[in-house]
Amino acid sequence: MGSFANSLHVKSDSSDKVAASIAAILKGKGWQPTEKTPSRGSAWGVSSPLRALQVSTPQNGWVSILDTDFSGAHSLAPALAERLSTHAIFFLVNDSDSWCYLLSGPEGAVSEFDSAENADDDEDSGDLVETGAAIAKIQSLMSDGTIQQRMQAIQAQMAAAAPPEIRAAETRIRSGQGTAADMHQYQAWAMQEMPKYMADMKALLGGALDLPKASAPKKSKRRTSKAERAAEKRRLDALRPILAAGVTDNEVQDVFEQQAVFAEDVLAEFLPLVTIPAFYANLSYGYLDESTPQELAGQGIQFVQHLRFETT
């Protein structure tokens, strides 16, 4: 299971204004403030009448938000941009396979990017040779049992760390007696725990394949169409007001064209281009408790408001 890091960022110098706007927008959708805190599983897409958001202090002109409801955060971006007459951008890593963003401007314009749709299928022969070698190395690891042993070790570590209710749910699932609630509970817990063990697997695969964090930009043999060039220009035009000083269109496009084993590694290269800390490429409401206040402070990140809402 890969990463589902996600975060929302609003161009603002006031976390209070952003927090008040969030409360007003959610109130209009039937959410009311509460002192209750959602269960940890709610941060992983499990339906819940409770919702929580962490709001940061401004950093480089951005107030950042971590939301238990990442689909809700996606729709919150244009609402906040419109209400505060500013830019808002939402990022999501999809199972470590791809990353995307939705950018909303102060005039209501929306621009999107999804690396899954931007992947270049036209690999040259050198790419194919490298891919073949990579596959051969993975097959070697599989044939000698290295990957299987590592996965079994991870599963054993996770099982040992599981709370009693999760072990009980897993037992029922394995025996064929598990309910939908058991499955939701177990999946939410597994999604929460798996990122803690991903570094170990990354080290194994990255070392075996001798891959850098992000491969060099691919060069397609075919020429891009006029429509594709126009779409690229519109995307870059929308981004230009929020790019860091000195960042060029070519630098941005180079990151867009990169492919890597783990999509969050590419997102970590993109975020500084818009003056957002690269640390957010691995952060979400659900992942927040894996980082210490000292680690966050080292990145200049400080969350100062914990908003909680409920609905009937």
Q: Is residue 79 part of a domain?
A: yes
One domain, residues 109 and 227: yes
DSSP annotation of 97 reads T
Q: Is residue 1 part of a domain?
A: no
Strands (E), 80-179: 88-94, 98-104, 110-114
Residue 311 in tokens: 């609905």
One domain, residues 289 and 200: no
Q: Is residue 144 part of a domain?
A: yes
Question: Domain count of the chain?
Answer: 2
pLDDT of res. 157: 78
Last residue within a domain, chosen from 185, 209, 233: 209
**pLDDT averaged over consecutive 10-residue blocks of the chain (312 residues)?**
89 98 96 86 62 96 95 92 97 93 91 82 46 55 61 74 81 70 68 66 54 46 73 92 95 92 94 96 91 90 96 82
pLDDT of res. 154: 72
One domain, residues 97 and 35: yes
One domain, residues 113 and 166: no
pLDDT of res. 70: 85
- Provide the b/e sequence for 168-202 (b: ≥16 CB within 10 Å): ebbeebeeeebeeebebbbbbbbbbbbbebbeeeb
DSSP lists the bridge partners of residue 10 as 63, 88
One domain, residues 131 and 96: no
One domain, residues 14 and 100: yes
The pTM of the full predicted model, rounded to 2 decimals, is 0.69
- Its domain, for residue 18, covers 6-121+218-310
End-to-end CA distance of the chain: 32
